[in-house]
Amino acid sequence: MKTMKTAIYPGSFDPITFGHLDIIRRAADIFDKVVVCVMINSEKKTMFTIEERMDLISRVIGDFPNVEVDTWNGLLAEYAMNYQDAVIIKGLRAISDFESEFQMAIINKKINPYLETLFLSASEQYTYLSSSAVKEMAKYGADLSEFVPEEIIDDVIRKSQMRR
Ligand code: ADP
């Protein structure tokens, strides 16, 4: 039987939230290896630099022996060619996520026909959670402890204060 060993979990992770971590944890239970890939998207204005986002992720995935962080400046379908038997993992929060995710999955498959995209449904308690909501809350000094891991709360608060 053919097994798929590596799950690539792409996104902007600006910053990583409990919603992302939940997907990582579940994917790490299913696959031998999970690579969290911080995608460089020049169109998107981000709060944290690529290096900072990778550092925040590294700090919160310490407990998972089979999870790594990487970054890629280019097409995801090309990045996946660096791995044998890799699949793309995405989290789906709502119908609103579906349309663009479905479109991207088809485009990725056109570029790399062997590349499958698998969707994990968001856990109920995180369906409302997004990096942009976290940034908005940080801006107004809200308690972030339900949304991002303890280890990175100060970084998020500090950064949002620098930007005000
Ligand atoms: P965001 O929409 O938070 O800016 P990213 O671009 O970093 O998200 O998202 C990377 C991936 O994580 C996407 O597949 C997205 O659907 C998924 N994701 C984001 N937030 C959650 C969440 N709260 N629960 C499940 N999946 C999520």
Which CATH number describes the domain made up of 6-127?
A: 3.40.50.620
> pTM for this one?
0.94
Closest to 149 in 3D by CA, of 17, 8, 14: 17
Residues 6+ apart with CB under 8 A from 34: 6, 7, 8, 9, 24, 27, 28, 64, 66, 67, 68, 89
pLDDT digits (tens, 9 = 90+) for 3-51: 658 999 999 999 999 999 999 999 999 999 999 999 998 778 899 999 9
Q: What is the DSSP letter of 124?
A: G
Query: What lines the ligand 1 site, CB under 6 Å?
Result: 11-13, 17, 19-20, 23, 90-91, 93, 97, 122, 126, 129-132
Q: What are phi and psi of 119, to 5 degrees?
A: -110, 130
Spell out the domain ranges in the chain: 6-127
**Cα–ligand 1 centroid distance for 75 (angstroms):** 18
pLDDT digits (tens, 9 = 90+) for 63-104: 899 999 999 999 999 999 999 889 999 999 988 889 999 999
